[in-house]
Structure 1
């Protein structure tokens, strides 16, 4: 959606973000380059960028300034937060036009200019997440929980791989056991000294079992904290059928601490990769699953629907009805994801938009 001419900002600052420095380029209303600059990634650098943009605004009769920033969820998060708290308008720029890179090459100044042109043309309109509330807390705790869970899985996989090549007597005693009994037995292993391969195998198996136990305790502690935070952020969401804390956390992370930034239900569907993609040809009219969007949120929707397709009677009846109509399982799943997005939108986004409208009135 392009910005109407009379409402266009007279100065757009595009910012290409990196770990240690950010490069910014300012354009005027007609798209002419006014000035480039480079700042350090700290509060002093952010203030210098804002003063630089304010100076350009003063030179252009106090024209309003809009900042188009790449990577507002990573390297640009600090700058976006600083500018938002200062009252400036910030637009999230996901990725520049690949054709520009093909024609002009790539460097930081070109990328910053491309970001500014995306905002000026109206192709970049997204409002970045604030990252200053309970959802940001959930995101950080979930990182700790996911990495602990992954490491726990790697520990038991490695443990079983070591057992395959262990001495025959040790392998034959432990291999028939289930996971829980296997871990308990390995934690009880003793070795007198490092005199041979069997002693080394006992030592290694016990070390891996201890690691699994420590990681299991850590992951469970993170799960308890995550349960508390998700209940605080969206108690209605976690009360829905099949939506546990982990899936609720993933959906909350997509929506962010400022849900009103999501313009519509269709926008949320596209963000989660559940909007229907046309796949028609000739006399065949159909849609397919979207393979874009936020894949972790899409996976969370999939897990919720797997539970509902087995235990939720309205969902089971829907699947049977659509199956009789000739729909494939993938097509039914696509439709169910879209229905689920409608349900989530009404819980997470709609109340915030209504309250914002009420305050505006």
Structure 2
């Protein structure tokens, strides 16, 4: 009669280059720990190693939405239950020491004890698509602010009183449109010509960033409305605010 297969629980400490995996049995005894590459060529050996230890009940893992996202997807697709493990506080880590194997065993133990019971953070749904789009939008907004600041700073130092008199006091939108339509001519070795040329280029950069932000808003609007319709319906709440978490 064949003996029943031992039940085991895995734990994985995720990194950018190497994932450290560990296995414990159903009473918490450490069985083995091994490092595996953080790419598809390392996922199959990791899965085979886990299954060779016994019947895999679950695998605890930190960063299932970041460093461990791809591996978590692979294990889930392979029929393995992946449990999100919260990162222990720093005081606890100092008390028990910190090493990759120790962290991997701790992830497995957290599942066994019930301390970790969260569903892995999927990166496949609309909820995770929104932050990616918002991140690009946010960087464009930052770059746009830097551009207008650079324009205004250059206007202050530009060696052309006539230029300053014409532009001083214009609202941002009109200022950008005016500068973008200019056609500076002359020798770029002359400071006033170089300043005018630079201002025109900066204005065009601002317009490009503005268009990028508007396109991002157009992409985000239907996704945010679908995920958070009640937020979008609130007075004064736009796509950017409603899409924040």
Task: Verify same fold: TM over 0.5.
Answer: yes
Aligned to 1:70: 62
| Shift, 1:168, TM fit | 4.8
Aligned to 2:113: 121
Aligned to 1:188: 181
Aligned to 2:23: 26
Question: Is the counterpart of residue 199 in structure 1 residue 196 in structure 2?
Answer: no
RMSD: 2.2
| Cα gap change, 1:104 to 1:180, in 2 (>3 Å) | same
Cα distance in structure 2, aligned partners of 1:165 and 1:106: 55
Listed as ranges, the matches of 1:35-114 within 5 Å are 35-57=32-54, 62=55, 64-114=56-106
Cα distance in structure 2, aligned partners of 1:237 and 1:71: 28
Aligned to 2:171: 178
- Structure 1 residue runs of 5 or longer lacking an equivalent are 1-8, 251-296, 298-361
From 200, 220, 233, the counterpart of 1:239 = 233
> What SS is found at the alignment partner of 2:13?
strand
- Structure 2 residue runs of 5 or longer lacking an equivalent are 1-5
Conserved in 1, the CA contact under 8 Å of 2:228 and 2:243?
Answer: no
Conserved in 1, the CA contact under 8 Å of 2:63 and 2:84?
Answer: yes
| Cα gap change, 1:16 to 1:222, in 2 (>3 Å) | same
CA-to-partner distance for each residue in 1:290-326, whole Å, 9 max, x for gaps? xxxxxxx3xxxxxxxxxxxxxxxxxxxxxxxxxxxxx
Q: So what's the TM-score if we normalise by structure 1?
A: 0.60
Question: Is the counterpart of residue 14 in structure 1 residue 11 in structure 2?
Answer: yes
The alignment of Structure 1 onto Structure 2 pairs a total of residues equal to 238
Cα distance in structure 2, aligned partners of 1:15 and 1:95: 12
| Shift, 1:195, TM fit | 2.3
Q: So what's the TM-score if we normalise by structure 2?
A: 0.86
Cα distance in structure 1, aligned partners of 2:185 and 2:22: 65
Listed as ranges, the matches of 1:150-229 within 5 Å are 150-169=142-161, 170-189=163-182, 190-229=184-223
CA-to-partner distance for each residue in 1:7-44, whole Å, 9 max, x for gaps? xx942222111222211111223332211111112233
Whose Rg is larger? 2
| Shift, 1:152, TM fit | 1.4
Cα distance in structure 1, aligned partners of 2:160 and 2:232: 49
> What SS is found at the alignment partner of 1:223?
helix
Cα distance in structure 2, aligned partners of 1:130 and 1:101: 27
Cα distance in structure 1, aligned partners of 2:97 and 2:165: 62
Conserved in 1, the CA contact under 8 Å of 2:65 and 2:122?
Answer: no
Aligned to 1:249: 243
> What SS is found at the alignment partner of 1:19?
coil
From 224, 232, 236, the counterpart of 1:230 = 224
Cα distance in structure 2, aligned partners of 1:121 and 1:175: 67
| Cα gap change, 1:167 to 1:40, in 2 (>3 Å) | same
Higher relative contact order (CA 8 A, sep 6+): 2
Cα distance in structure 1, aligned partners of 2:214 and 2:146: 16
Cα distance in structure 2, aligned partners of 1:235 and 1:101: 41
> What SS is found at the alignment partner of 1:132?
coil
| Shift, 1:237, TM fit | 4.5
| Cα gap change, 1:231 to 1:97, in 2 (>3 Å) | closer
